[in-house]
Chain A
Amino acid sequence: MPTVYLAAEQENVLRIHWDEFTFGLIAFLLILGVVYKMWPKLTKALDERADQIEGGIARAQKAEAEAEETRQQYREKLEEAHREYAQELEKAKEQRAAIIAEAREEAQVEARRIVEAAHAQIEADRQQTLVQLRSEIGALSTELASRIVGETLSDGAAQNRVIDRFLDELEQSGNTQQAEVR
């Protein structure tokens, strides 16, 4: 009967066969040996990776610090440039003011000089005109008088006196006329 056969075949499942135990031990020790043998390779790779990552972080921090330093320098330079620009601007303004003032002064001096020269010229012209007029008027008057009076007044000295007196009177009347015109 099959049931009897199966029951006979069944043995204690909690048995431990020593040969299987030995084989299991050998297998276990073999794998343990392989794992231990290969272990340093893996840990070495892991350590190297950790080193590289740490190195990378250190490099990145260094680069960051350098960048910050460069930025600081750049900022300082920029501020300095701004400062210099402002100074230059101030200086240029001052110079411009100075130049303008100088030019104005020069122009005034020049104008005054021209005006004075014109005045002098006018005065000179006037004097000349006066002298000329005086002599012409003298001559005209002499001629006139001689014509009126005749030959009597041919004496030079007396002639001059008469003319001068005549001119003085003329001048005085001219002055008063001028005053009235003004």
Chain B
Amino acid sequence: MGADVNVVAASESGCHIFGHGCGFEAPGVGLFSPTPWLDFGLPGAAGVNKYYLVAAVALIIAAAFWYFTTRRAKVVPGRGQSMAEMLVGFLRDQVTRTTMGKEGDRFLPLIVTLFLFIFCMNIMGLIPGLQLPVTTSLAFPAVLALFVFLLWNIVGIRRHGFGGHIKARLVPGGVPAWILPIVVPIEALSNFVIRPATHMIRLFATMFAGHLLLALFAAAGFYMFNPLSQMGALYGALSVGYSAIALVGFLVFTAFELFIMAVQAYVFVLLTSIYLGEAIEGAH
């Protein structure tokens, strides 16, 4: 069972249940600040750390999946092509068509890219040896959310003009004029600040929390495994039982995490699609 490298490092102190009396150190947010391998000391930079490695692996997996499944696209599809087609068909029918209609087909490659990339970044948390979801570093969701935010503005402005786009976003239809001084600032804050922020933080936070939970189970399992307890064989056996419970919890939550990883990728692209559909639609 591949315990997270950082978790193992955190528990290297040798603390175990029924041991010398040192307490359990739960894995903290330090997990998400891996020590950089190359630190150039630039201000505001993390340095070349583990996130670079997992992001590069995610990039390769996502790009290779798409490249090899569609490289020889034929009328009669093979397995790979069928998978790619299923992915595209799912995203088209469940995401773009439902939110943007036929017009959304234009954005389908973007939606496919986002889904693939986010899902691959997420599953990095389950790959033994790597076990760090790329999306637990806010910079990566931020790139995607910012890209979507910019695209959302560009699509709206190209469709309705700058004024039309801004007005559609700030002045909700059917609101009496006297209430506008209150509504407009709220809408501005909501649409131009809170929305892109929540778009990235939602993905980041769920992956962050999920990974922390897995790390906790792994660390707890390690902490509680003390068959050679100084307090006697009975306590040693008890510690193994506790450890087994933690292991079962780890496995269950790993499966659950896999589900969450797919769902979060889906939610991200669904929201992207909804925002773009709104920009296309204009005032409502």
| Complex Cα spacing A123 to B212, Å | 148
Which of B45, B58, B110, B144 lies in contact with A18, CB distance below 8 A? B45
CB of A25 to closest CB in B, whole Å? 5
**In the assembled complex, A155 has its CB within 8 A of some CB on chain B:** no
Which of A17, A34, A48 lies in contact with B63, CB distance below 8 A? A34
| Complex Cα spacing A99 to B51, Å | 113
Q: Number of B interface residues, CB 8 Å? A: 52
Q: Mark A8-40, 1 if CB is under 8 A from B, else 0.
A: 011101111111110111011011101110110
Provide the residues of chain B in CB contact with A34, threshold 8 Å: 63, 66-67
Given A14-B138, A19-B42 in contact, is the A45-B143 Cβ separation under 8 Å? Answer: no
Interface hit among B70-78, B124-132, B217-225: B70-78
Do the beta carbons of A42 and B63 come within 8 Å of each other?
A: no
Q: Number of A interface residues, CB 8 Å? A: 35
Do the beta carbons of A35 and B66 come within 8 Å of each other?
A: yes
| Complex Cα spacing A115 to B218, Å | 136
CB of A105 to closest CB in B, whole Å? 83
Provide the residues of chain B in CB contact with A2, threshold 8 Å: 13, 25
| Complex Cα spacing A38 to B33, Å | 36
**In the assembled complex, A46 has its CB within 8 A of some CB on chain B:** yes
Provide the residues of chain A in CB contact with B201, threshold 8 Å: 14
| Complex Cα spacing A45 to B70, Å | 10
Q: Mark B67-91, 1 if CB is under 8 A from A, else 0.
A: 1001111111100010011001000
Which of A10, A21, A41 lies in contact with B143, CB distance below 8 A? A21
Do the beta carbons of A20 and B88 come within 8 Å of each other?
A: no
Provide the residues of chain B in CB contact with A28, threshold 8 Å: 113, 117, 143-144, 147
Provide the residues of chain A in CB contact with B88, threshold 8 Å: 42
Do the beta carbons of B25 and A6 come within 8 Å of each other?
A: yes
Provide the residues of chain B in CB contact with A15, threshold 8 Å: 138
| Complex Cα spacing A30 to B55, Å | 12
Interface residue ranges, A against B (CB under 8 Å): 2, 6, 9-11, 13-21, 23-25, 27-28, 30-32, 34-36, 38-39, 41-42, 44-46, 48-49, 52
